[in-house]
Chains A and B, each alone.
Chain A
């Protein structure tokens, strides 16, 4: 017999033996085999069934707190929770996973990378926050300070390129770049305001709108920068010597020519925030509040007569005649406050945070610093964070954002960078000596953040109308 034939014979003989073995050994072993196989199949079936149930049922004992516009709270308890932590967070299971499981997943992920922007003060503070987070949670935190524009462009490019796993977990952004990223699909499409427990401390509107742009909870504010009127406290007394409201501004500027200025709105946020606040006063907040934007409507509003029987541009051109170096606008927030520091002007709209930073840096005499918010009020941005669509560590990102919104961290924000906390009640934890610093507004109700946020007035900027106005400002004011 040839070798290959012999191998075939042995193979066939083995199979024959296996098939015929029950007959050779007797019925008893066949019964035993059937029983064993049946038990095995039963156990496997139970296991599969349990697994399917585990994936499809929500976790037991989980609470969902839903807050409506009228601030009534609805608590929905879900039952049948799972004790199995999913391996990956998705847009579906993120709503059903318990917070403890999320933290567990975050720890497994082990790292969070946060991209932000701002001055050197913000950079140092955010870096410090990262170190604190790492120390407390054991999750490595990396802060990258750069430009919001570059970060958002990167995410949009990654979305277009189909890059499913990126390297950024959390992005600090204001309304316009968030809107760009959101519309490009570069934002993780989950309602952070629903998922993150500490988000409930943020004012409701700010949780779902940023500069009146609907964020649907995909962008969560962590702080609020605000613009007030910075005035020379040593030369002017509040309220007698300053325009306490926008109504008084033009008269005041006429009586004090060359003593007021504001920065080019295209070069600094204090400029365009001041102007949109002025516009909201000039035409009424209701004209802008959460209204749809169209160029036609914007033109209709801004070219219509408001106060003093002037349109908005005529008002600004009238104001300009009595401003510091009429026709010359400081090119940025810093340039504006430097004029104030040099004593060239005595009243400017300025960010509270920049004022604080200039005093802390020794460039601005604190005895000169007086801050107030003119009536009816000044709108302001609640800036915050979002999670990119391709964030590699989404659980860690959620845990990090929740930590940023903790009272303890929120109370650091006014101390370190001169911004307001997004979580209102955290203001109560801010030390008295910080609240008494001269860069915080002195007038009621702005001297008490909790009272201000609860009872108002709390106005927001309308980003679309603001950007339209900024573009038109060049033609209608700067060129004239």
Chain B
């Protein structure tokens, strides 16, 4: 294949980017994959082994359970964030509250708050003497639904993690949904109303069909981001079950078990890559077409 002058110029211009991607993305990925087989790229003792994979996939393996727990809690956080975010964006689209211009900046605070700060903030609110914990438990006990306070943080059900994740992801969902909803022709809404459609029908027959790819894309983004974050599950999560990335963190910093850390990393990459592929392959193009 003959390389033309234009090709050469393109290569030269893109070379810094390629080098950056190789050094920052490709080599670490290769290191993780090789590390999961006990092979070290950087001079440490190597010993080819599948022990990491056996340990990860063993029945009753804490790692496999952690992966399921991670996906499970991330999925619930995603569903709550998408539902709440979408409905709130619709409310803003339909009602156009005048006060929104003034309060919209406050709502973006979670976007600019470092995750670790947000996590500790929620910890103080949810721990047994935190305000939110007192209110929720007080209410539930008054209604007779519980007889002793529920642990809302560092608990085995991931309740604390859900609070922390939804607080951040909800704002992201609103920010992403608001744009496409604004781009829907208002005459469609007027026409539907004139034909007798109620709000629910407008939402289900107009808004959702016209923004469905945005919903799918946003779901993928939020799910991936929730799975990848470590600050919130580390601070708000319990001793068991744990997010897989917390297990990786402990393997590296406490027990120095790099083999299991690399192996868990491989499974994380597979899960993220699969979701990413779905996002880019089936939705991106349609999102662009739809918004045009």
Residues of A that sit less than 8 Å from B by CB: 149, 157, 160, 176, 180, 264, 266-267, 325, 327-331, 335, 338-339, 342-344, 467, 470-471, 474-475, 478-479
Q: What residues of B have a CB within 8 angstroms of the CB of A329 in the complex? A: 154, 238-239
Q: What residues of B have a CB within 8 angstroms of the CB of A335 in the complex? A: 123, 127, 154
Provide a sorted-by-A list of 25 A–B residue pairs whose CB atoms are within 8 angstroms: A149-B253, A157-B42, A160-B43, A160-B44, A176-B256, A180-B256, A266-B239, A325-B151, A327-B156, A328-B151, A329-B154, A329-B239, A331-B154, A331-B237, A331-B238, A335-B123, A335-B127, A335-B154, A339-B128, A342-B129, A467-B255, A474-B62, A474-B240, A478-B238, A479-B240
What CA separation (Å) do A149 and B238 show in the bound complex? 23
What CA separation (Å) do A292 and B250 show in the bound complex? 24
Q: What residues of A have a CB within 8 angstroms of the CB of B127 in the complex? A: 335, 338-339, 342
What CA separation (Å) do A331 and B239 show in the bound complex? 7
Q: A329-B238, A479-B240 are in contact. Are A470 and B154 (CB under 8 A)?
A: no
What CA separation (Å) do A267 and B240 show in the bound complex? 12
What CA separation (Å) do A330 and B235 show in the bound complex? 10
Secondary structure of the B contact surface, majority rule: loop
The reply to whether A160 and B42 contact each other, CB–CB distance below 8 Å, is yes
B149 and chain A: residue at smallest CB distance: A325
Residues of B that sit less than 8 Å from A by CB: 42-44, 62, 123, 127-129, 151, 154-156, 234-235, 237-241, 250, 253-257
What CA separation (Å) do A343 and B155 show in the bound complex? 19
* CB proximity of B151 to chain A, nearest CB, Å: 5
Q: What residues of A have a CB within 8 angstroms of the CB of B62 in the complex? A: 474-475, 479
Q: What residues of A have a CB within 8 angstroms of the CB of B156 in the complex? A: 327-328
The reply to whether A266 and B240 contact each other, CB–CB distance below 8 Å, is no
A343 and chain B: residue at smallest CB distance: B129
Q: What residues of A have a CB within 8 angstroms of the CB of B238 in the complex? A: 328-329, 331, 478
What CA separation (Å) do A329 and B154 show in the bound complex? 7
A159 and chain B: residue at smallest CB distance: B43
* CB proximity of B19 to chain A, nearest CB, Å: 20
Q: What residues of B have a CB within 8 angstroms of the CB of A180 in the complex? A: 256
What CA separation (Å) do A344 and B250 show in the bound complex? 28
The reply to whether B128 and A342 contact each other, CB–CB distance below 8 Å, is yes
Q: What residues of B have a CB within 8 angstroms of the CB of A325 in the complex? A: 151
The reply to whether B239 and A264 contact each other, CB–CB distance below 8 Å, is yes
Q: What residues of A have a CB within 8 angstroms of the CB of B254 in the complex? A: 266, 467, 470
What CA separation (Å) do A329 and B250 show in the bound complex? 16
Q: What residues of A have a CB within 8 angstroms of the CB of B239 in the complex? A: 264, 266-267, 328-329, 331, 474, 478
What CA separation (Å) do A464 and B238 show in the bound complex? 25
Closest 7 CB pairs of A and B: A478-B240, A342-B129, A478-B239, A264-B239, A329-B239, A160-B43, A328-B151
* CB proximity of A140 to chain B, nearest CB, Å: 32
Extra A-B contacts (20), CB below 8 Å, given A470-B255, A474-B239: A160-B43, A180-B256, A328-B154, A328-B155, A328-B238, A329-B239, A330-B154, A331-B234, A331-B235, A331-B238, A335-B154, A338-B127, A339-B128, A342-B127, A344-B128, A467-B254, A474-B240, A475-B62, A478-B240, A479-B240
Q: What residues of A have a CB within 8 angstroms of the CB of B250 in the complex? A: 266
